[in-house]
Structure 1
Amino acid sequence: MASSNKNLSEYSDKNITPISERKFAVVVSEWNEEVTEALYHGAYSTLIQHGAQKENIIRKSVPGSFELTLGAQWMAAQDDIDAVICIGCVVQGETKHFDFICDAVAHGITNVGLKFNKPVIFGVLTPNTQKQALDRAGGKHGNKGDEAAITAIKMLGF
Structure 2
Amino acid sequence: MAGQAHESLPTPRFEGDAPRLLIVVAPYYRDIADQMVAGAHAEIEAAGATHQTIEVPGALEVPTAIRIAFNADKFDGFVALGCVIRGETTHYDTVCNDSSRAITLLGLQGACIGNGILTVENMDQAQARAEVAGQNKGGGAAAAALHLIALTRAFGSSSKKVGFRPE
Same fold (TM over 0.5): yes
Unpaired runs of 5+ residues, structure 1, are none
C-alpha distance in 2 between matches for 1:155 and 1:4: 28
Sort the Cα spacing of 1:38 and 1:96 in 2 relative to 1 into closer, same or farther, 3 A. Answer: same
C-alpha distance in 2 between matches for 1:49 and 1:139: 14
C-alpha displacement of 1:153: 1.0
* Counterpart selection for 1:12 from 9, 14, 27: 9
Pairs within 5 Å for 1:104-143: 104-115=98-109, 117-138=110-131, 141-143=134-136
C-alpha displacement of 1:21: 1.7
Which secondary structure does the structure 2 equivalent of 1:30 belong to? coil
Counterpart in the other structure of 2:19: 22
TM-score by length of 2: 0.82
* Counterpart selection for 1:36 from 33, 46, 55: 33
Say if 2:86 is the partner of 1:92. Answer: yes
Counterpart in the other structure of 1:69: 63
C-alpha distance in 2 between matches for 1:129 and 1:4: 20
C-alpha displacement of 1:11: 2.3
C-alpha distance in 2 between matches for 1:44 and 1:128: 26
TM-score by length of 1: 0.86
RMSD across aligned positions (CA): 2.0
C-alpha distance in 2 between matches for 1:4 and 1:120: 28
Which of the two has higher C-alpha Rg? 2
Which secondary structure does the structure 1 equivalent of 2:48 belong to? coil
Sort the Cα spacing of 1:111 and 1:50 in 2 relative to 1 into closer, same or farther, 3 A. Answer: same
| Aligned partners of 1:25 and 1:81 also within 8 Å | yes
Which secondary structure does the structure 1 equivalent of 2:120 belong to? coil
Sort the Cα spacing of 1:31 and 1:68 in 2 relative to 1 into closer, same or farther, 3 A. Answer: same
% same residue: 26
C-alpha distance in 1 between matches for 2:5 and 2:36: 17
C-alpha distance in 1 between matches for 2:123 and 2:77: 28
C-alpha distance in 2 between matches for 1:44 and 1:83: 13
* Counterpart selection for 1:48 from 28, 36, 45: 45
Sort the Cα spacing of 1:90 and 1:114 in 2 relative to 1 into closer, same or farther, 3 A. Answer: same
Which secondary structure does the structure 2 equivalent of 1:68 belong to? helix
C-alpha distance in 1 between matches for 2:61 and 2:54: 11
C-alpha distance in 2 between matches for 1:32 and 1:62: 12
Amino acid at match of 2:4: N
